[in-house]
Chains A and B, each alone.
Chain A
Amino acid sequence: MPEQPGKNAIEVRGVRKVFGAGDAAVAALDTVSVSIRENEFFTLLGPSGCGKTTLLRLIAGFDYPSAGEILLYGDDIALLPPFKRPVNTVFQSYALFPHMTVSQNIGFGLEMLGKPKAEVKARVAEMLKLVRMEHLASRRTSQISGGQQQRVALARALAPQPKVLLLDEPLSALDYKLRKEMQIELKRLQNQTGITFIFVTHDQEEALTMSDRIAVMSSGKILQVGSPWDIYDKPADRFVADFIGETNFLTASIAGIENGKARATLKSGATITASVADGFQPKGEATVVVRPEHAKLVKGKAELSGTVENVVYFGTDTHIHVRLDGSDDLFIVRQQNARSAGCGFETGDKAGIAIGDDAAQVLRD
């Protein structure tokens, strides 16, 4: 997707968040800056403890930053209490009010904003329709299923028409099929309402399929911000490459960088061409990554060779694990499955791994 400059809904500038004090102090966020554009589906992605939820809570107003600014359409909201921010949250646990009906839950925000009764009623009806829950309007939240609770939580957060909607791993409690359904539902809702979504998840597949842009986080820092394509195809460093999708890591000595291409000599002695990111000057030993679908398994000689150790069938494709000659490393090759044909290799077979010119990249550690 092309970069398109637009208005920024949220701008996070140099935000730090430290929990505890003295020796016990832990920096959950370490000077994070990021801009989130209007109408964007923006995802904060990272393993648990990376600070993504902390950042979301700072934007929501449940915690206050130790340093830095959070701008909402240009106004610093970092120190406003949550009930004064035009931002709503869909909680991981949904946090629906158990003593209220579905309708009362959805109308709560509008009621607290002091909207007239008729307007609240109309908006609640509209929201119920939007999330297809009209038939359960007067149910208690304890009497509906997990997926339905999810929809009510969404409707409740969308009803006051927030400038930004925050979603804290909202799909993690749902089973696989329902999760797939809700992913599509969320995209639909975002398109329909035109509200900026900030979505927190640790599920890289979810992030890739739903987001306009993704910020990959680790240990309180943002490592890379970009479109799903950027993140997957041009990972900024080893961590991002490892976290997003499956990757083969190889060690190589680098020589002769020219036009963003380097000659990398692998341990096996083979030399391959690997792309290098702008401004990165690797010297000596460096990490080279190859995505499993960018390598090809061949009979006979190729850049790498090894013994097939495992053939794993996935339906759409097959993963072939190859133990590389002269080392203990496993290399995974992914092959698309053709109709009524095996992958052509069996456990114990000798095989060569062909790495095309565009397949390999040299990455920062």
Chain B
Amino acid sequence: MATAEEIARAADQRDIRNRWYLSAPAMLTIFFAAVGPLAIVLVYSFLTPGSYGDVKWQFSPEAWVSVLFERDIFDDTLSLAGAHMSIFWRSVKLAIVTTIITLAIGFPTAYFMATRSEKTRDLWLFLITIPFWTNLLIRTFAVLQIIRNEGIVNTVLMKLGIVSAPIQILYTDVAILIGMAYVYLPLMVLPVYASMEKLDFRLVEAGYDLYASRWQVLRRIIFPLVKPGVIAGSILVFIPAIGAYVTPSVLGGGKNMMLSNLIELQFGQGRNWPLGSALSITVMLIVMVALLVYVRNAGSQEVRHG
């Protein structure tokens, strides 16, 4: 006869088994969609490029060397790859500036939304998500139409006599920043709004009551309490911004490359898949390091509330 203890143990085991069955779809998805492809990229970065793209199955660290260094054609000495360095730095810089711009625009937007009445809030939330319904490429071309020399901005400025010749915005870093800020703004607004919506606005009143000015209330009360949302939003914007491909290609005109353009080049005309793979992993490393530094700094100033 089974004792109570044995029955309980059997139930526990059944429970554990069930847990595995239930989590299998998620586990398989994570493996085949994330870990698997990443492993292939990692393996490819240590192989030799084939003559017409693809790879030859022969170990070579050459790709990783050329991420950072250039080999002289004649005497094989290595020198720092200035072109790669400047592209890395440009990408990081533009991603950081994009994050700052989206935060500067997104924070007040989220505040505005969170302070509306409950009914209108949903409407604003809905409006914020509308851009997601349209293809990224089309949205980017729409931005192009607005900022090109014959576009709305320049036409209006010239009609008003503010400028005599069109301002060259398109194919500059400014154009890339405008495009990226526009594309990634919802990714900042949504998490900040989610935090802001939970904010107890009586705390804001309490701040005013205790002689804090509007700026002090923002800095000492609102900002610390919505910081989790700001951190989440910054991460959500920074990661895709550093690897952005469509927006810089269309609005930057391909003159000044970003990381994604460089990677694309290696898989296309460059026919150097191992270098492309190594560069991809480099982007990942940059993002990881940046996130670690950011989260640690943002988190350490004040212990999280809860």
Q: Are B208 and A82 in contact (CB under 8 A)?
A: yes
Whether A61 touches B302, Cβ cut-off 8 Å, given contacts A97-B203, A97-B221, A112-B216, is no
- Which of A61, A95, A113, A142 contacts B206 (CB under 8 A)? A95
Whether A83 touches B305, Cβ cut-off 8 Å, given contacts A95-B202, A99-B225, is no
Q: Are B209 and A89 in contact (CB under 8 A)?
A: yes
Q: Give the interface size class of chain B.
A: 20 to 34
Q: Are B203 and A95 in contact (CB under 8 A)?
A: yes
Chain A residues with CB below 8 A from B305, complex form: 98-99, 140, 142
Q: Contact string, A81-118, partner B, CB cutoff 8 A, digits 1/0?
A: 11100011101010111110000000011001100000
Q: Are A93 and B208 in contact (CB under 8 A)?
A: no
Chain B residues with CB below 8 A from A99, complex form: 224-225, 302, 305
Chain B residues with CB below 8 A from A60, complex form: 209
Chain A residues with CB below 8 A from B213, complex form: 83, 112
Chain A residues with CB below 8 A from B224, complex form: 99
Whether A81 touches B208, Cβ cut-off 8 Å, given contacts A95-B200, A95-B202, A98-B305, is yes
Chain A residue with Cβ nearest B205: A62
A319 to B202 alpha-carbon distance, docked (Å):
43
B227 to chain A, nearest CB (A): 9
B303 to chain A, nearest CB (A): 8
Chain B residue with Cβ nearest A89: B209
The verdict on A46 contacting chain B, using a C-beta distance below 8 Å, is: no
Q: Which of A83, A87, A98 has the most CB atoms of chain B within a 10 A radius of its CB?
A: A83
- Which of B200, B202, B205, B211 contacts A160 (CB under 8 A)? B211
Chain B residue with Cβ nearest A153: B206
Q: Contact string, B72-87, partner A, CB cutoff 8 A, digits 1/0?
A: 0000000000000000
Chain A residues with CB below 8 A from B302, complex form: 99
Q: Contact string, B192-216, partner A, CB cutoff 8 A, digits 1/0?
A: 0000000010110111111111001
Within 8 A of B (CB), among A265-309: none
Chain A residue with Cβ nearest B203: A95
Q: Contact string, A32-63, partner B, CB cutoff 8 A, digits 1/0?
A: 00000000000000000000000000001110
A54 to chain B, nearest CB (A): 14
The verdict on B25 contacting chain A, using a C-beta distance below 8 Å, is: no
Whether A89 touches B211, Cβ cut-off 8 Å, given contacts A99-B225, A99-B302, A112-B216, is no
20 contacts between A and B (CB under 8 A): A61-B209, A62-B208, A62-B209, A81-B208, A83-B210, A83-B211, A88-B210, A89-B209, A91-B205, A95-B205, A96-B206, A97-B206, A98-B225, A98-B305, A108-B207, A108-B210, A109-B210, A109-B211, A112-B210, A157-B210
Task: Name the 6 nearest CB pairs between A and B, nearest first.
Answer: A109-B210, A95-B206, A112-B211, A82-B208, A95-B202, A98-B305
Further contacts, 18 of them, CB under 8 A, given A62-B208, A99-B302, A112-B216: A62-B209, A82-B208, A83-B212, A87-B209, A88-B209, A89-B209, A93-B200, A93-B202, A95-B203, A95-B206, A97-B203, A98-B203, A98-B305, A99-B225, A108-B212, A112-B212, A113-B211, A156-B210
